[in-house]
Amino acid sequence: MFHVEVLFSIFSSDIYSLEELKQSIRRHLAQGHIEEAFQVALSANSLSMVLATCEMVNPSLIFNQGGQGAPSCLLPQHVLLALVQQLGKCPGITPNFPQCL
């Protein structure tokens, strides 16, 4: 679970550029922390940051077929809903848009 203290420390100062946030997202993804990466992107309140994060992640890592039964999703419902809300603001911005969800 993503800790509020970490998120607060990231955004408590205006000195963090979008590039620094992308680096933070890349670090989370490299460590396999997909939820945390999306939390940072969503908290940046930047559609371009959310799109960049979507493009960094292979959708099959988020939505996996867990053997028998229905596919499972690694992201919790509140993160998925936030992604839908953010991405719904500009659905034609990139041809990869449907791949994100």
pLDDT digits (tens, 9 = 90+) for 26-63: 999 999 999 999 999 999 888 889 989 999 998 887 87
Under 8 Å between Cβ of 49 and 41: yes
14-18: long-range contacts, CB 8 A cutoff, minimum separation 24: 18/44, 18/46, 18/48, 18/49
Query: What does DSSP say about strands 72-73 and 63-64: parallel, antiparallel, or unpaired?
Result: antiparallel
Q: Tell me how far apart the alpha carbons of residues 16 and 18 are, in angstroms, rounded to a whole number.
A: 7
Contact 15, 52 (CB under 8 A): no
pLDDT of residue 94: 52
* Residue extents of the structural domains in the chain: 4-93
Q: Write down the pTM of the prediction.
A: 0.70
